Amino acid sequence: MRFVLRRCIFYLVTAWAAVTVNFVIPRVMPGDPVQALINRYQGQLSTDAVESLYALFGLDPDASIWSQYVDYWGRLFAGDLGLSFTFFPTPVADVILQSLPWTVALVGVASVLSFAVGTLIGVMIGWRRGTWADGILPVTAFLSAVPYFWLGLIAIMLLAVTWPVFPTSGGYDGGLVPGLYPEFIGSALWHSILPAGTVVISSVAGWILGMRNMMVTVSSEDYVTVAQAKGLPERQVMFGYAARNAVLPQVSGFALSLGFIVSGTLVMEMVFSYPGVGFVLYQATGGQDYPLMQGIFLIITLAVLVANMLADVAYVLLDPRTRQEA
Amino acid sequence: MTPEPVLEIRDLAVDYGYGASPVHALRGVSLTLHKGEVLGIAGESGCGKSTLVYAATRLLPPPGVIVGGEVRFHGDDGPVDILRMTDQELRAARWQDTAIVFQGAMNSLNPVYRVGRQLTDAIAAHRPGSSRAEREERARELLTMVGIAPERIRAFPHQLSGGMRQRVMIAMAMALEPKVLILDEPTTALDVVMQRQILEQVMELRDRLGFSVVFITHDVSLLIEVADHIAIMYAGEIVEQARASEVYRQPRHPYSHGLLHSFPPLHGPRRPLAGIPGSPPDLQALPSGCPFSPRCPEAMDVCTDVHPDLGPTAAAEPGRRVACLLHTEGRTLPASLSV
């Protein structure tokens, strides 16, 4: 229990630090969002409008930095992340809420799939080391070395242009209105096959290699020999004794990778013009959209923190040695 | 009456490595374990003691290869050759016929499973008809048998001390009441007090349950106390085989003599302590003739040419065999080997 409490305090402090950094950075950068916005409208803004914009962004020059900070927290808890420039005057929170489900669903499913398949293949070839199964290794090494954007472009070229089986870009058919009806869901699934497939192909190799190497290490542990000597069925030795222990580092790696689902697929969403968080971040960067970038960074930071927490919990559940009371 | 054999190892040969120049780790080892007997195997590190056990139970990890010989286990349905069993037969026979307690007390238990689960999974694999409650009951009984409180069935390995873990391993080995228990340096990782406790425990269990024991160690003094018969190994071969008390009082091989004089006797008169000069041979480049000849204080010219085979001693003592050319006819044994 004390362990859980300690971890919770740790995460709270980290979250506070992340939010604070997020608050400080735009304020120490040269220029400010209002200036950027004024430039965008090429000076066609009245003084009143400029003042209200400053107030809106919480950048009131008359207010002290402390009151700005308190203000910032207040608005954060109210879910107010400011207004986006690129999609002016849509609130940042709405922009993020619109794109987040796309990313989380697509990359989430792809990551889980990649982890599950990769780990399972890793178990198999790690258990049968020194046989034909080792031939898979160079292939996986090649796949993990291929840059993702190249893989994505090749996939588009072959499967969407040369043989137009799949759509080249987007998250759904342009003629449809997003909503939960069969036609739209079917279209969304159809559009997700290439992006998800390429994400799985490019990330599965890492899981295979990691699991295979851990399997080889764990297979020579005494307790695996003991399990063999006990005459347990081979599957039980392989999964219950070898893989059960070899998977521990994989699990923490996986939980950490979950945190990067939100951000780490920037390239994929760019290549496929997929309407997710990464694509929005890309647009925000292009449009010098500070509030939007800030909002996305905040979400990414929180996602990484939550993923870390999941990793901790998973580890405690899987490894009894970490459960010991300190 | 001659006692019945339980485990017979015949001409067992093991190589490490494939290809042109494998290392011959075991070269034609033959041993017989009789019912209810404690057979000790002693020798320096790297002489092939552990390889012998791993090969005889087919647990030898690659690149170890069994290149010849047979291991006959005398079960209830007559003798079977373990080396020629199918994988399925082998799995069914393991733990049931021969259980092993390994060297590493620290790593022999799966760190993520509770002790109880590890005690019961072997029972579940071999007695599929047993109920969960029965298996648990048996696990508690086993723990009590080795002097651990039955509540510890819920403990994880890291919650137990090294000595307790090794006791759990012994309890686990007893789970199916095997005919043969192999102890592969079971006490190396433990302190001297714990060593004695564990051994006494095993011997007490043996008296009660009547299994046979193969006890492997480099601690000859320990062996002499607990074993009935002793085989001394050197460079992948057995160089002397006799009853424990005989080896202790009257070693017949210069290597046994050296081994026995490299530790102080606990009982009897004091005697000067002497080690064995040199170091264990490189198995990849064994000397010609007798492998012990370069280190042997009694070496003769012929020793570097002729390889001695295991045979009767010069005095033809019953039940004793030695592999030394000093025991061939027409040679006079040095005083140290003819007491």
Q: Which domains does chain B have, with CATH numbers?
A: 5-227 (3.40.50.300), 232-337 (no CATH)
**Residues B148, B179: Cα–Cα separation, whole Å:** 23
Q: Which of A87, A315, A240, A305 is nearest to B114 (CA)?
A: A240
> Using a CB-CB distance cutoff of 8 angstroms, which residues of chain A are in contact with residue B125?
230-233, 236
Phi, psi of B80, rounded to the nearest 5 degrees:
-130, 150
User: Which of B61, B91, B156 lies nearest to residue A231, judging by beta carbons?
Assistant: B91
CB pairs under 8 A between A and B: 79
Give the CA angle between residues A130, A131, A135 to the nearest 5°: 95
> Using a CB-CB distance cutoff of 8 angstroms, which residues of chain B are in contact with residue A236?
121, 125
Put simply, the answer to whether B121 touches A232 (Cβ < 8 Å) is: yes
Domains of chain A by start residue, with CATH? 2-77 (no CATH), 93-319 (1.10.3720.10)
What is the mean predicted confidence (pLDDT) over B98-120? 87
Q: Is any Cβ of chain A less than 8 angstroms from the Cβ of B95?
A: yes
What is the mean predicted confidence (pLDDT) over A117-137? 87
Put simply, the answer to whether A234 touches B109 (Cβ < 8 Å) is: no
* CA nearest to A129 within chain B: B62
Hey, is B151 helix, strand or coil? Answer: helix
Closest-CA distance, B34 to chain A, in angstroms, reads 22
Is pLDDT larger for residue A197 or for residue A288? Answer: A197
What is the mean predicted confidence (pLDDT) over B41-67? 87
The pLDDT of residue B175 is above 60: yes
For every residue of B228-284, DSSP letters joined together read: SEEEEEETTEEEEEEEHHHHHH---SHHHHHHHTTS--SSSS-------SS----GG
Closest-CA distance, B284 to chain A, in angstroms, reads 24
User: Which of A223, A227, A321 lies nearest to residue B158, judging by beta carbons?
Assistant: A321
The pLDDT of residue A324 is above 70: no
What proportion of chain A, given as a percentage, has pLDDT over 70? 94
Contact, A251 vs A311, CB < 8 A? yes
What proportion of chain A, given as a percentage, has pLDDT over 90? 12
Put simply, the answer to whether B126 touches A225 (Cβ < 8 Å) is: no
* CA nearest to B108 within chain A: A223
> Using a CB-CB distance cutoff of 8 angstroms, which residues of chain B are in contact with residue A222?
102-104, 107-108
> What is the pLDDT at residue B282?
81
Q: Is any Cβ of chain A less than 8 angstroms from the Cβ of B324?
A: no
User: Which of A228, A229, A245 lies nearest to residue B111, judging by beta carbons?
Assistant: A245
Predicted-complex ipTM score: 0.84
**Residues B60, B53: Cα–Cα separation, whole Å:** 8
> What is the pLDDT at residue B231?
92
> What is the pLDDT at residue A212?
92
The pLDDT of residue A175 is above 80: no
> What is the pLDDT at residue B139?
92
Q: Is any Cβ of chain A less than 8 angstroms from the Cβ of B50?
A: no
Q: How confident is the model at residue B188 (pLDDT cuts 50, 70, 90)?
A: confident
Is pLDDT larger for residue A3 or for residue B258? Answer: B258
> Using a CB-CB distance cutoff of 8 angstroms, which residues of chain A are in contact with residue B111?
223, 245, 319-321
**Residues B278, B19: Cα–Cα separation, whole Å:** 30
**Residues B25, B14: Cα–Cα separation, whole Å:** 6
> What is the pLDDT at residue A264?
59
Closest-CA distance, A237 to chain B, in angstroms, reads 11
The pLDDT of residue B272 is above 60: yes
> What is the pLDDT at residue A326?
41
The pLDDT of residue B304 is above 90: no
- Two structure tokens written together for B30: 């033959």
What is the mean predicted confidence (pLDDT) over B75-95? 86
**Residues A192, A171: Cα–Cα separation, whole Å:** 7
Q: How confident is the model at residue B1 (pLDDT cuts 50, 70, 90)?
A: very low
> What is the pLDDT at residue A269?
86
* CA nearest to A234 within chain B: B91
Put simply, the answer to whether B59 touches A225 (Cβ < 8 Å) is: yes
Chain B contact probe: residue of A217, A222, A230 with most B CBs at under 10 A: A230
* Strand segments (E) across A161-311: none
Chain B contact probe: residue of A222, A248, A251 with most B CBs at under 10 A: A222
Closest-CA distance, A77 to chain B, in angstroms, reads 41
Q: Is any Cβ of chain A less than 8 angstroms from the Cβ of B158?
A: yes
Q: Which of A38, A75, A50 is nearest to A294 (CA)?
A: A75
Strands B229-234 and B38-42: parallel
* CA nearest to B91 within chain A: A231
What is the mean predicted confidence (pLDDT) over B224-236? 89
User: Which of A230, A320, A321 lies nearest to residue B125, judging by beta carbons?
Assistant: A230
Is pLDDT larger for residue B105 or for residue B132? Answer: B132
- Over the stretch A17-51, which tens digit does the pLDDT of each residue have? 988 888 887 777 766 667 777 777 776 777 887 78
Q: Is any Cβ of chain A less than 8 angstroms from the Cβ of B166?
A: no
The DSSP H or E segment spanning A25 is helix A2-28
Strands B311-312 and B321-322: antiparallel
> What is the pLDDT at residue B43?
85
Contacts of B57 (CB under 8 A, 6+ apart): A229, B82, B94, B98, B100, B182
Contact, A326 vs A2, CB < 8 A? yes
What is the mean predicted confidence (pLDDT) over B139-151? 90
Give the CA angle between residues B172, B157, B201 to the nearest 5°: 40
What is the mean predicted confidence (pLDDT) over B48-55? 88
> Using a CB-CB distance cutoff of 8 angstroms, which residues of chain B are in contact with residue A234?
91
* CA nearest to B61 within chain A: A220
> What is the pLDDT at residue B263?
75
What is the mean predicted confidence (pLDDT) over B271-298? 82
**Residues B41, B242: Cα–Cα separation, whole Å:** 11
Q: Which of B266, B289, B293, B265 is nearest to B278 (CA)?
A: B293
**Residues B315, A75: Cα–Cα separation, whole Å:** 101
User: Which of A223, A226, A231 lies nearest to residue B92, judging by beta carbons?
Assistant: A231
